[in-house]
Homo-oligomer: A and B are copies of this chain.
C-alpha cells in the first residue's frame, strides 16, 4: 500500500465494468444491478452494498454500511460492457441462461437488449466444449490484443467513463502450467507476436487491460494474470490485479466449515465432495482438461486451512476428493453434496453431510460487483499489484510469490475489513494491552 491515509481519490464520473464472457454470471449481474437501480430488487449477497463494518470500540456501537464508509462508485454510475463468443444481446443471453425469471427480466428488458457483446478473443483449444461463432479474426495474438485495447478505448469514450475495471467471467480454460514465455513481459510480448500456443485468450484480455491501466480480476481458475510477465506489466502501469476463481457454492461452504472443525481441534479422515451442475460452466468442465484446472483450484483449499504439517495427528492422513458432474437437469441450480469424516475424543468417528442447493450465478453475481467496486477503490487509493485483501471472494487467492494463500473465510473477512479501515485512515481494531476482559474482547 503506497497510499497516504485519506488520500483516496473520489469516485467521480462513471465506472465502466468490462466483462469478458457474458453468460449466466455476467447477465445475472447486469440485470440485477439495473433492477436494483429501479428499486425492484435488492443486491443481497453484496458485502459492499449490504454489509456493515464496525468502527471503534464495541461499546461505541458504530456499524456503518460499508458503502457509506468507503467512497465506492455508486450503482447509478455504472456502465456495463463486454465480449462473448455468441452474438446474443444481454436480454437474449439472460433468457438462455435461465437464471432469472421472466418477470424480473421484463422490468429491465430494453436496457438489456441495448447491450450487445463485442466479438470475443477466442481459441477453441482452450475450451473444447464451446463453439464460438462471434469471434475476432487475427493474424498474430499481438494483433488480437490490440483489437481488445481498441475495444476498451472505444467503450470508455463512447460511454463517457472516467474509470474502468475488467472482470473475467468467461469459462474455465484447460489446465496449463507456467512456462518460460510467461516469465517476463518482454518474453510474453514476443510470444504475442509469434502466436505462442501457451498464451490463452484470458491472458490477452488481461494484457490489454493492464496495458491500459485497467484493474483486472480473474473469476476463473485459469492461470491468466497469475504469471510474472503480467504482474510485471501491472507494476509498470500501477494497476491492481486479483484472482483466481469466484468462491461460490461448495468451496464457499468448505471455507466456512473447515475453520470450524479446525477451531475445535477435531480431526479429519476424509472429505468427499461432489457437485452436479447443468449450465454452460458444467458443460465446459465435462472436459477432463478443463476440469483439471478447476480441480487444482478446489483441492488446495483444505490443506491451507488445516495445516497438516503442524497438526499431523489431526490432518496428516486426510483423504480429499472432489468431483464435478455435468448433469443437465440441474440447469443453473448447482448442487453440492459433501461427506466429511471427522474424528473426535480418543479418535471416535463422526460424520457431517452437507447438501447445498445453490444457484451458481446468484452466488457469483454479487462477487463480481464487489470485486469491481473494490478494485476501482484500490486503484483510486494508489494500490497496485496483487490485491490479496480480496481473497475473501476467491477460491484460489493469488498471492505474492512464496506466500501461502489464506482460505479461512473468517480471516479473509478480517483482512478485508482492516484494509478498508486502513484506507480510510481509521485505526484497525487493536487488542494491545488489555487491562480487563472487556478490552480483550475488543480484539476483533
* Chain A residues in the interface with B (C-beta under 8 A): 1, 28, 32, 35-36, 41-47, 49-52, 63, 100, 102-104, 252-253, 255-257, 259-261, 263-267, 269-270, 272, 274, 276, 310-311, 313-314, 319, 321, 323, 325, 327-330, 335, 337, 339, 341, 343-348, 350-359, 361-363, 365-366, 383, 387-389, 392, 400, 403, 406, 409-411, 413-415, 418-419, 422, 427-438, 440-441, 443-444
CB < 8 Å neighbour of A389 from B257, B319, B441 = B441
Whether A44 contacts B344 by the Cβ 8 Å rule is yes
Whether A353 contacts B346 by the Cβ 8 Å rule is no
A430 to nearest B CB, angstroms? 5
List the B side residues contacting A328 at CB < 8 Å: 270, 319
CA distance A32 to B347 in the complex (A): 10
Q: A274-B325, A353-B354 are in contact. List 7 more A-B contacts (CB 8 A).
A: A1-B437, A32-B345, A44-B314, A403-B438, A419-B437, A428-B440, A430-B431
Whether A350 contacts B362 by the Cβ 8 Å rule is yes
Q: Given known contacts A46-B265, A314-B44, A443-B418, is B341 in contact with A329 (CB within 8 Å)?
A: yes
A170 to nearest B CB, angstroms? 20
CB < 8 Å neighbour of A63 from B50, B310, B321, B388 = B310
Whether A351 contacts B346 by the Cβ 8 Å rule is no
Whether B388 contacts A437 by the Cβ 8 Å rule is yes
List the B side residues contacting A104 at CB < 8 Å: 346
Question: How many copies of the polypeptide does the oligomer hold?
Answer: 4
Q: Given known contacts A100-B346, A314-B50, is B428 in contact with A432 (CB within 8 Å)?
A: yes
CA distance A125 to B74 in the complex (A): 57
* A–B Cβ pairs within 8 angstroms, 18 of them: A1-B437, A42-B347, A45-B345, A50-B265, A51-B265, A253-B260, A256-B257, A256-B261, A260-B409, A263-B409, A270-B329, A274-B337, A276-B321, A321-B327, A350-B362, A414-B444, A422-B440, A444-B444
CB < 8 Å neighbour of A44 from B260, B347, B418, B435 = B347
Label chain A's interface by main secondary structure.
Answer: mixed
Whether B413 contacts A263 by the Cβ 8 Å rule is yes
The 4 closest A-B pairs by CB, nearest first: A256-B260, A270-B329, A428-B431, A41-B346
Whether B50 contacts A311 by the Cβ 8 Å rule is yes
Q: A392's closest neighbor in chain B, by CB?
A: B263
List the B side residues contacting A351 at CB < 8 Å: 356-357
CB < 8 Å neighbour of A353 from B357, B410, B443 = B357
Q: Given known contacts A1-B436, A389-B440, A437-B1, is B47 in contact with A346 (CB within 8 Å)?
A: no
Whether B44 contacts A441 by the Cβ 8 Å rule is no
Whether B366 contacts A345 by the Cβ 8 Å rule is yes
List the B side residues contacting A410 at CB < 8 Å: 259-260, 263, 410
Whether B344 contacts A339 by the Cβ 8 Å rule is no
A7 to nearest B CB, angstroms? 13
List the B side residues contacting A274 at CB < 8 Å: 274, 323, 325, 337
CB < 8 Å neighbour of A348 from B330, B359, B387, B406 = B359
A28 to nearest B CB, angstroms? 7
